[in-house]
Amino acid sequence: MDSGMNKKWGRSITDAVKAAIEGSATIIQLREKDADTGDFLEAARACLKICRLHGVPLVVNDRIDIALACDADGVHEGQSDMPAHVARTLLGPEKIIGVSCKTQQHAQQAWRDGANYIGCGRVYPTNTKANNFTIALFDRECVTTETKRLHTVQTGRNEQ
Residue among 63, 95, 100, 122 flagged as catalytic:
100
- Range of the structural domain that residue 52 is part of: 1-72
Number of domains making up the chain: 2
66 and 19 assigned to the same domain:
yes
Residue among 31, 63, 102, 122 flagged as catalytic:
31
> Is 31 a known active-site residue?
yes
- Kindly report the pTM of this predicted structure: 0.78
> Is 102 a known active-site residue?
no
> Is 100 a known active-site residue?
yes
The alpha carbon dihedral of 61, 65, 68, 70 has a sign of: negative
What CATH code is carried by the domain that includes residue 103? 3.20.20.70
pLDDT tens, 115-159?
998 887 665 555 555 555 545 444 555 445 445 555 545 444 444
